Chains A and B, each alone.
Chain A
């Protein structure tokens, strides 16, 4: 090895020797990168490859692999009469929750950034829903919304807002609205803290300059705060989109996507295909579609963000 490098450094080196030397420079970082690369390969890439492979296999209801299935799993999936509605609902679920959360978090972040007595306590209080397990939060909400013993109905009855207990989670429209509210509730802490961090990174001099120029509060917010928050909003939105899209515990513990498929998103739908319909291959095909949708969403968003970043 040393011989090669000496030859490489030597004055009139032959062509192959030079190539070898270049290769060596290129490969030199590899031993240090390899552990990370292997980890990424094993933890990130391998499951994806495995998922795609499974979607082209015929898998028996027992779990045994029976051989290749060609594109039959995908054909079965696209023949599902509920697929269209489920995908549309997933879109509503993701966009609705992310937009509402972001708007609320902008206000909340502003509040947390302001100086007032007891700010520390309020900051802690906002973190709590984040610290609690999503599954527990969803289960507690399910009980609170119960038509028989739930506290929500009790409250509404006592206030005279309803005449008899409402079975909120049995009616698809109401169930979706409540589940989205719960999802917003658990997504708020992360988003508002990302925005808070963004707010704190804006240098005070900029605001001073705005004040000197006589900008009003709104103008300052729209012209200075929001544009400077763009990196924080970008990160927050991407992570939220992916998290909300993949959210399983809220829907599963509150309605199981039912009645029938009326409150399914593509994530719970994937699970039901595998464990109610016993069709693991088709479920893997659905998972591949989900994966593609997430990639597409992220790519779209990054592009939009880069373009708006370039013009400003």
Chain B
């Protein structure tokens, strides 16, 4: 009897193991009505989770029966998580990310018009709508934006007897030399794998260069880009940058800028609250347009993150997703997020609210002339990956033309 019992227990145990092993670890799919959705949000800083918790509580109170499960993911983990979710068919209903076009290409996400009201759709600033399109249709929902400008240390400029920020590349070179002679680093150049593509594009666009030609084909090894990279290499080789730009990330440059040890660096709206204020609230710095080769016209690097809504069997999550997104995109809720996190608006209604702050206004004003990375091209992620890994070599021991040729090849292979 006892033996039989033990045997039965063993069989039962293995059965239980087998069942739990095969059971699908589903966190969103178990809701049959489609009224519960899962939202994966990126952690921008310590305030992000508090904001979403509050917003979701509000949303659930105003929409009885609907429920939003929040999952916060660090940017460091984001790429890995998103790929895993998609691969294991556990994509969230709404995702906060920096890319959308490969989801659109693979038919995984809704078009924008399917998941937000016409009012919200028409509130997006046209610049950003263009960036959120894949093959002419808008899929991404612009979420936040950011722009880059030249930060310069006024005290170091005075010490080096420079009276205004540089407008042309020749002036950058000359000013950097003077600052170096005054005992500081002239220009902080972060070309490490963290965000080499943004730093490089900030310079290339102001020389008429870029990632694609007028027909939208990859043109990474075009003459203007080679010229740009050669200029950055010359800056490095003349010793006016910090040592080894190819392994430097932005945090290192901004920290040294905040300590008053770097004369110039390219930064964004977040640079003040994120780096300068914590180190030295009284740093005497100014913000100027990005220098261009000829010194006359100046473009700005624009950056945009998006929300994307994933399809679920037969579109049964559509109603819940639409309610949630419309709720977030109300002027009050979305501008609250921007102010909290120090980002720029993507909607017309949130725009005016931010222009009141003179520091932020400089960035808001720069947005209309901003150039974006080709995020509508699904191959961009792979190209950006190649740029991050390889571009820095050009200012170390590589040859600018050869490095760009290599990245061009990767881009053409990726599509």
**Interface, chain A (partner B; CB < 8 A):** 31-32, 34-35, 37-39, 42, 59-66, 147-148, 167, 169-170, 255-256, 258-261, 272, 274-280
Known: A34-B10, A170-B244, A278-B414. Contact between A64 and B381, CB under 8 A?
no
Known: A42-B17, A260-B389. A63 touches B10 (CB 8 A): no
Which residues of B30-57 have CB atoms within 8 Å of chain A's CB atoms? none
B234 to chain A, nearest CB (A): 19
Instruction: Check: B299 CB closer than 8 A to any chain A CB.
Output: no
CB-based contact A61/B10 at 8 Å: no
Complex Cα–Cα for A63 and B414 (A): 15
Give every chain B residue within 8 A of A275 (Cβ-Cβ): 79-80, 83, 385
- Contact status B382-A259, CB under 8 Å: no
Query: A38-B17, A258-B389, A279-B382 known; A62 and B106 CB under 8 Å?
Result: yes
In the assembly, what is the distance between CA of A274 and CA of B381, in Å?
A: 11
Contact bitstring B76-115, A, C-beta under 8 A = 1, else 0? 0001101111110000000000000011011010000000
Q: Is the CB of B17 within 8 A of A60?
A: no
**Which of B86, B252, B393 is the one whose CB lies under 8 Å from A63?**
B86
Question: Is B273 an interface residue when CB atoms closer than 8 A count as contact?
Answer: no
Nearest-Cβ distance from residue B124 to partner chain A, whole angstroms: 23
Across the interface, do A63 and B244 meet the contact criterion of CB distance under 8 Å? no
B14 touching A61, Cβ below 8 Å: no
8 other A-B residue contacts (CB within 8 Å) besides A167-B247, A280-B83: A38-B18, A64-B106, A65-B87, A148-B252, A258-B246, A260-B393, A261-B389, A276-B193
Q: How far is the CB of B10 from chain A (nearest CB, A)?
A: 4
CB nearest to B385 among chain A residues: A276
- Given A38-B21, A258-B389, A259-B393, the answer on whether A62 and B102 have CB atoms closer than 8 Å is yes
Given contacts A255-B247, A276-B389, contact A61 B21 (CB under 8 A): no
Shortest Cβ gap from A37 to chain B (Å): 8
A60-B102, A63-B86, A276-B388 known; A34 vs B243 contact (CB < 8 Å): no
B10 touches A280 (CB 8 A): no
Residues on B facing A (Cβ under 8 Å): 7, 10-11, 13-14, 17-18, 21, 79-80, 82-87, 102-103, 105-106, 108, 192-193, 242-244, 246-247, 252, 256, 378-379, 381-382, 385-386, 388-390, 392-393, 396, 410, 414
Contact between B106 and A60, CB atoms less than 8 A apart: yes
Q: Which residue of A lies closest to B393 (CB)?
A: A260
Give the Cβ gap from A246 to chain B, nearest Cβ, in Å: 17
A-B contact pairs, 11 of them (CB 8 A): A60-B106, A64-B86, A64-B87, A65-B87, A66-B106, A147-B244, A148-B242, A170-B246, A258-B192, A258-B246, A272-B385
Give the 10 A-B residue pairs with the shortest CB-CB distance, closest first.
A63-B86, A276-B385, A34-B14, A170-B244, A31-B10, A63-B83, A62-B102, A278-B382, A63-B87, A64-B106
Inside 8 A of A170's CB, which chain B residues have their CB? Answer: 243-244, 246-247
B386 touches which of A35, A39, A167, A277 (Cβ 8 Å): A277
Contact partner of A259 among B82, B243, B246, CB < 8 A? B246
Residues of A within 8 A of B84 (CB): 63
Given A31-B11, A259-B246, A276–B386 Cβ distance below 8 Å?
yes
Instruction: List, in ascending order, chain A residues with CB within 8 A of B193's CB.
Output: 256, 258, 276
Instruction: Assess the B11–A61 pair: CB atoms within 8 A.
Output: no
Residues of B close to A31: CB separation below 8 A: 7, 10-11, 14
- The distance in angstroms between the C-alpha atoms of A32 and B382, with both chains bound, is 50
A15 to B385 CA separation, bound complex (whole angstroms)? 68
Cα-based distance from A279 to B414 in the complex (angstroms): 9
Task: Please judge, given known A-B contacts A31-B10, A62-B108, whether A167 and B244 are in contact too, CB under 8 Å.
Answer: yes
